[in-house]
Structure 1
């Protein structure tokens, strides 16, 4: 069975590609010309060059495919031109789902994010049913993914068999960019993390995220969404684990949110008007950190059989990979 995947060059996408290949699937990966293909080097896959904004390239890429994993997205906490989020994440998703509908694809897994989910006022972990609205989305990335998820649900109502997965914060090897979370790990390893703020995230092994995609294709209910997560950790707890793995002292200084926010605004201003480069303290990341992004993954565990590998193991693999691949200074 031929399967098309978008975003196969990225962190989560390459994990999905490798798992599909290990289970005997024929894989076609959509990639833009000029993309960094190092995560796909040496893999027995077919490359289809195209773009989410080029409808004809999508029609050609999806021909003959019975399954589609739409993992690709524009993921960043800052861009000089925010409209790129909406073009790629919203318009691109709509274009791809329309092509899948035309081709009669038998199952689609759309990769969203826990960033589109709500938060509970009592601080308890949120789930797929926690109320949320577009107005509650912080920043253009989360807003665009919220709107893209609506495109996926709309396609499901029109008859396309779409299942939505919402990964939390994956960690592990081959985070080549790296992602914002990977950059936190790299900065810690390079002793560039002198302090932390009182926030928290849900972390999961990227290999479990990949398995969750395949399980969603096999067992997921059309139109439903599933949180692919594992461990709720504060940043303080994360750095304590990384410190044990890397034999480095974790940061001891906790910076108040009220202090870091004006610094983030200043960084944002400098990036937007002066440097045109990503800020060292991303404003959207700081705004997200105001709440602990803790989530309840029990639906995915119960209905999909989502594996729950120890997060310490995934962090150890991430540290080893970043160290072995030149991200950590000697």
Structure 2
């Protein structure tokens, strides 16, 4: 698809995945519009040739101003917190933001939408890799973040069934450059690279380079079916193997101590209590330990077959992430 001079709106471009999507579009010559909050960190947008429009995804009027005249929309922005003092705040934000953006897109006559969901909306498969055929209900989702993404995705599905031209993509666990905040997985990479994770729990996840996820977004716009969802993943990896690869890159000894999850729950409760007092983000949460009970493995077979999606090996993604964190001064 030729994006040259095509007006495209991206929400969440100051964030990790959103900035990768914006850069992929910029490389294809798109006329970029980026909806950003007034107080958002502009590190990921400062060097992009784009019109920055201040607004809030929960404010339909501000989204409509940004969307008017745009041809395509990538709605990547979300409340990505895995923990909050009031967990329902995450659910409210993601539902309200998604509804406002989709209503504004419909009012602006957007031709095609790519909505960034998450594999958090899919039930894990303890016997293999989960795929798009395992949608979760809000009641089945573990934690407020996963529940919020299920609620928002079901909303987009319902609107697509009524004619909204939206395609849904479900990234797994992206890693790579420009993880400014960083994300929870990025924090693990930083801590492990700094030699501060001597032990681990037995769990697994699906790692994917953030730039491959961004490429998958563009493929979904071009080839995706309206109302369908597509997993954008990479490789299934145990947490043990992930930490070993980080140690290899850094020249450290890989951790070998496996800690039962049950022993970490008191620490998680303590982390959350401290976060409530300080206003910070806990490194370990009760919900993250509950999630670790299952290997979060996912298949991208549908995206590969229908979109032509491909992902590079996870060690390359880790190496790029570590190089960026090192340059940013987060790894010493």
* Structure 1 and Structure 2 fold alike (TM over 0.5): yes
Paired with 2:135 and 2:13, the residues of 1 have a C-alpha distance of 32
**Shift of residue 53 of structure 1?**
1.8
Q: Unaligned stretches of 5+ in structure 1?
A: none
The Cα offsets for residues 55-110 of structure 1, whole Å up to 9 and x where unpaired, read as 21111010001100000001112112323312321111001100111111110000
The Cα offsets for residues 3-24 of structure 1, whole Å up to 9 and x where unpaired, read as 0000000111111111101111
CA contact (8 A) 2:106 2:164 kept: yes
The Cα offsets for residues 166-208 of structure 1, whole Å up to 9 and x where unpaired, read as 0000111010000000000000111111110000000111110
CA contact (8 A) 1:118 1:126 kept: yes
Corresponding position: 1:282 with 2:285: yes
Paired with 1:170 and 1:269, the residues of 2 have a C-alpha distance of 28
1:240-255 aligned within 5 A: 240-255=244-259
Paired with 2:225 and 2:172, the residues of 1 have a C-alpha distance of 20
Secondary structure in 1 matching 2:130: coil
Q: Provide the alpha-carbon RMSD of the alignment.
A: 1.2
Q: Equivalent residue for 1:154?
A: 158
Secondary structure in 1 matching 2:147: helix
CA contact (8 A) 2:19 2:45 kept: yes
Paired with 1:90 and 1:237, the residues of 2 have a C-alpha distance of 35
Q: Equivalent residue for 2:311?
A: 308
Query: Which of 100, 123, 133 matches 1:95?
Result: 100
CA contact (8 A) 1:4 1:68 kept: yes
Q: Equivalent residue for 2:194?
A: 190
Corresponding position: 1:296 with 2:299: yes
The Cα offsets for residues 106-150 of structure 1, whole Å up to 9 and x where unpaired, read as 100000110110122x42111100253221111111111110001
Query: Which of 98, 114, 121 matches 1:116?
Result: 121
CA contact (8 A) 1:2 1:67 kept: yes
1:50-129 aligned within 5 A: 50-120=55-125, 122-129=126-133
Corresponding position: 1:165 with 2:169: yes
> Higher mean Cα deviation, 132-141 or 315-324?
132-141
Runs of 4 or more, structure 1, over 4 Å off, are: none
Task: Tell me the TM-score normalized by structure 2.
Answer: 0.96
Paired with 1:96 and 1:117, the residues of 2 have a C-alpha distance of 23
Paired with 2:42 and 2:317, the residues of 1 have a C-alpha distance of 23
Paired with 1:156 and 1:239, the residues of 2 have a C-alpha distance of 40
Aligned residues: 327
> Higher mean Cα deviation, 68-77 or 86-95?
86-95
Secondary structure in 2 matching 1:38: coil
The Cα offsets for residues 289-311 of structure 1, whole Å up to 9 and x where unpaired, read as 11110011100111111122121
Query: Which of 210, 213, 220 matches 2:214?
Result: 210
Task: Tell me the TM-score normalized by structure 1.
Answer: 0.96
Q: Unaligned stretches of 5+ in structure 2?
A: 1-5
Secondary structure in 1 matching 2:58: coil
Paired with 1:321 and 1:239, the residues of 2 have a C-alpha distance of 17
Paired with 1:35 and 1:280, the residues of 2 have a C-alpha distance of 22
Paired with 1:76 and 1:248, the residues of 2 have a C-alpha distance of 30
Q: Equivalent residue for 1:326?
A: 329
CA contact (8 A) 1:53 1:87 kept: no
